């Protein structure tokens, strides 16, 4: 239970206690009558609710977990869920790059998996069982048991560093997926095995390595020392599901022209692109100066976007709100957005894209920030990032991927980005063969 909710419950029970007829404070002979008592109790309850709300606003992490229907326009009395399904059915996919690039992908934030717990995760077109052994280590196995196909993540039990299938009790080692025990058989066959995935846990995230040919990891996920040492602490996360090819999302970093068009209106203008250019909020403008470059060997799998952000209010430039951000992309599925500001402090947003299906991406942003900075600062940064991001979501959810876009000279970074990104595909990278025609709500 969140502290805010706890305070609210205390408030309500206190209120309820006070209005009990046999309360010693408010007996028949009490100083005020029943209406007065009720009013005081309601006020006490409301006051505590407000205190709980204020506490969670100021101190609790911000969690914005969006459904599958963000970024669609619901018209003619339809729900946004129906609009999402219509868009998905209508979409022309055309020619697409392979759908699962080779690289590291986030599966879960570490705090969502406790010792002895198992979680089911859909990623890369597969169903995975992610569990934390009693040794504290996180393991990733295929979810389906090779015996008769039960899902290890649904009712499976963690035993040491193994997981026990809920159907007949076979046990599989988290390290290599080998079956180590069949409770009713004398011998465990050599070949009894479930696929185990290379994984790592770094920056408070559990990541999995995908390579279409089963090759070992070709690079490691950089550790953000400040997170490991506890100098930067967790202040919140967002989660979105996006109906697009994975490449659309990182390509945004090299699409410099879209910043001036899509992201210039102030965040108060909201996320619905039909209204973001409304005259009412025209007095708030963001200005972006951006450069995108790939890194060289041995970090060829990385690229950097350097962002200079400034804010104008009624045409006046507010220098104190100038923010420089380095967005370092590592492989196809991770970006480290590093903030360094003279008085707003330092921190990072970990932006992760994990393909769930060929045209469905799970995108998470987790913010870690200097522990001595008021949590409201990183929470505001995350909220602002979320608003700007949801404007992109509306574009991605409704667009078509063009293999041969009509570009002008000023768009040249986009082609450069496509060449850079192509290193994550290899000959056997999976291609889209069929498309589901609806999202499940
Ligand atoms: S299906 Fe898993 S043990 Fe039988
Ligand atoms: Fe964008």
Is 188 part of any domain?
yes
Those residues whose C-beta lies under 8 Å from the C-beta of residue 427, and which sit 6 or more positions away, are none
Q: What is the pTM of this model?
A: 0.89
CA–centroid distance, 263 to ligand 2, in Å, is 7
Determine the number of helices (DSSP H) and then strands (DSSP E) in the chain.
8, 19
Are 71 and 390 in contact, with CB atoms under 8 Å apart?
Answer: yes
CA distance 194 to 207: 19
Candidate from 127, 156, 163, 168 with most ligand 1 atoms within 8 A of CB, to mutate: 168
Strand locations in 298-344 (E): 302-313, 316-317, 323-330, 334-341
Burial, 389: exposed, middle or buried (Cβ in 10 Å; 0-12, 13-18, 19+)? buried
Please tell me whether residues 93 and 107 are part of one structural domain.
no
| 256 CB within 6 A, ligand 1 | no
Same domain, 318 and 413: yes
What integer is the mean pLDDT of 288-310? 95
Q: Are residues 418 and 350 in the same domain?
A: yes
Contacting residues for 74 by C-beta, under 8 A, at least 6 apart: 80, 82, 83
In this structure, the residue with its CA closest to atom 4 of ligand 1 is: 168
pLDDT, position 435: 53
Q: Is residue 216 part of a domain?
A: no
Q: Are residues 252 and 129 in the same domain?
A: no
Does 430 map to a domain? no
Question: Closest-lying ligand to the alpha carbon of 170?
Answer: 1
Residues 264 and 286 in one domain: yes
Written as one string, the DSSP assignment of 19-42 is HSTT-GGG-TTSSS-HHHHHHHHH
Residues 189 and 44 in one domain: no
Instruction: Give residue 434's pLDDT.
Output: 57
Lookup: tokens for 23: 């309360």
Same domain membership, residue 126 and residue 17: no
Residue that is written with structure tokens 């996006």 in the block: 242
Query: Can you tell me the distance from the alpha carbon of 229 to that of 223, in angstroms, rounded to the nearest whole number?
Result: 11
Q: Is residue 401 part of a domain?
A: yes
Asked if residue 66 has its Cβ within 6 Å of ligand 1, the reply is no
Q: Which two tokens stand for residue 305?
A: 């976007």
For strands 62-65 and 232-242, give the pairing. parallel
10-24, 269-283, 306-320, 363-377: range with highest mean pLDDT: 363-377
Name the residue of 143, 145, 162, 172 whose CB sits within 8 Å of the most ligand 1 atoms, as the mutation to test its pocket.
Answer: 145
**End-to-end CA gap in the chain:** 26
Residue 4 has pLDDT above 60, yes or no: no
The closest ligand to the CA of 394 turns out to be 2
Whether 44 and 111 map to the same domain: the answer is no
Atom of ligand 1 nearest to the CA of 148: 1
User: Of 158, 185, 202, which residue sits at a domain end?
Assistant: 202
Cα of 418 from ligand 2 centre, angstroms:
16
Q: Are 160 and 194 in the same domain?
A: yes
Residue 339 near residue 362 (C-beta atoms within 8 A):
no
Q: How many domains does the chain have?
A: 3
CB of 167 closer than 6 angstroms to any ligand 1 atom: yes
**Does the residue 377 lie in any domain?**
yes
Q: For residue range 331-388, list pLDDT tens digits in order.
A: 999 999 999 988 899 999 999 999 999 999 999 999 999 999 999 999 999 999 999 9
Q: Say if 74 falls within a structural domain.
A: yes
Q: Bigger pLDDT: 19 or 216?
A: 216
175, with CB counted inside 10 A (0-12, 13-18, 19+), is middle
Per-residue model confidence (pLDDT) at position 3: 47
Query: Per mean pLDDT, which range of 10-19, 92-101, 252-261, 267-276 is the poorest?
Result: 10-19
230: left (phi over 0), alpha (psi -120 to 50) or beta: left
Residues 19, 154 share a domain: no
Closest C-alpha to ligand 1, atom 3 = 168
pLDDT reading at 215 higher than 50 = yes
Rounded Cα gap, residues 325 and 366, in angstroms: 16
What is the pLDDT, as a whole number, of residue 32?
Answer: 66
212 assigned to some structural domain: no
Looking only at the bridges linking them, the beta strands covering 138-142 and 126-132 are antiparallel
Whether 223 maps to a domain, the answer reads: no
Top pLDDT among 13 and 164 is at 164
Q: Is the pLDDT of residue 94 over 80?
A: no
Q: What is the mean pLDDT of the chain?
A: 90
Looking at the predicted structure, is the pLDDT value of residue 95 above 90? no
Residue nearest to atom 1 of ligand 1 (CA): 148
- Is 186 found in the same domain as 264? no
Structure confidence by residue, pLDDT tens digits, 59-88: 899 999 998 888 998 887 888 888 888 888
Asked if pLDDT for residue 30 goes beyond 90, the answer is: no
CATH classification of the domain holding 354: 3.90.380.10
**How far is it, in rounded angstroms, from Cα 160 to Cα 172?**
11
- Domain extent for 41: 3-59
Looking at residue 24, its pLDDT comes to 52
Q: Which two tokens stand for residue 208?
A: 């999995």
pLDDT score for 67: 84
Residue 382: predicted pLDDT: 97
150 CB under 6 A from ligand 1? yes
Q: How many CB atoms lie within 10 A of CB 18?
A: 17
What pLDDT is stored for residue 438 in this prediction?
Answer: 57
327 lies in the same domain as 363: yes
> In the predicted model, is pLDDT for residue 297 greater than 90?
yes
Least confident stretch, 36-50, 128-142, 303-317, 394-408: 36-50
Which has the closest alpha carbon to 267: 397, 350, 382? Answer: 382
Say which residue, 144 or 20, is predicted with more confidence: 144
- Cα 171 from Cα 173, distance rounded (Å): 7
123 has pLDDT over 50: yes
């Amino acid at each position: 239970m969140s502290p805010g909710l706890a305070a609210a419950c205390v408030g309500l029970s206190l209120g309820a206690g006070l209005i009990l007829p046999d309360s010693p404070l408010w007996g028949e002979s009490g100083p005020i009558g029943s209406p007065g008592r009720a009013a005081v109790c309601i006020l006490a309850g409301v006051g505590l609710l407000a205190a709980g709300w204020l506490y969670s606003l100021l101190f609790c992490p911000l969690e914005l977990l969006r459904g599958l229907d963000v970024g669609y326009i619901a018209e003619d009395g339809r729900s946004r869920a129906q609009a999402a399904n219509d868009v998905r059915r209508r979409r022309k996919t055309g020619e697409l790059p392979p759908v699962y690039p080779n690289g590291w992908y986030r599966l879960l934030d570490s705090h969502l998996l406790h010792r002895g717990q198992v979680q089911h995760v859909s990623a890369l077109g597969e169903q995975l069982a992610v569990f934390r052994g009693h040794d504290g280590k996180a393991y990733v196995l295929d979810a389906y048991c090779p015996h008769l196909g039960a899902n290890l993540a649904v009712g499976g039990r963690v035993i040491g560093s193994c997981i026990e299938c809920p159907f007949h009790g076979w046990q599989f080692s988290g390290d290599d997926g080998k079956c180590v025990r069949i409770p009713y058989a004398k011998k465990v066959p050599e070949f009894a095995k479930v696929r185990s995935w290379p994984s790592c846990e770094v920056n408070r995230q559990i990541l999995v390595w995908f390579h279409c040919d089963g090759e070992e990891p070709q690079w490691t996920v950089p550790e953000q020392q400040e997170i490991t040492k506890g100098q930067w602490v967790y202040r919140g996360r967002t989660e979105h599901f996006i109906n697009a090819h994975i490449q659309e999302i990182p390509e945004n970093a090299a699409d410099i022209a879209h910043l001036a068009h899509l992201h210039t209106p102030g965040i108060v203008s909201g996320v619905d692109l039909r209204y973001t250019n409304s005259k009412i909020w025209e007095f708030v403008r963001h200005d972006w100066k951006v450069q995108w470059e790939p890194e060289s060997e041995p970090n060829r799998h990385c690229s950097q976007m350097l962002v200079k952000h400034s804010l104008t209010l009624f045409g006046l430039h507010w220098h104190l709100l100038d923010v420089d951000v380095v967005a370092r992309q590592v492989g196809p599925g991770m970006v480290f957005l590093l903030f360094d500001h003279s008085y707003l402090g330092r921190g990072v947003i970990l932006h992760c894209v994990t393909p769930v299906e060929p045209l469905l991406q799970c995108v998470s942003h987790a913010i870690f920030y200097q522990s001595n900075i008021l949590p409201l600062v990183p929470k505001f940064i995350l909220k602002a990032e979320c608003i700007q991001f949801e404007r992109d979501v509306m574009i991605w959810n409704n667009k078509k991927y063009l293999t041969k876009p009509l570009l002008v000279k000023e768009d040249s970074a986009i082609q450069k980005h496509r060449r850079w990104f192509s290193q994550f595909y290899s000959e056997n990278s999976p291609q889209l063969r069929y498309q589901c025609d609806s999202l499940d709500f």
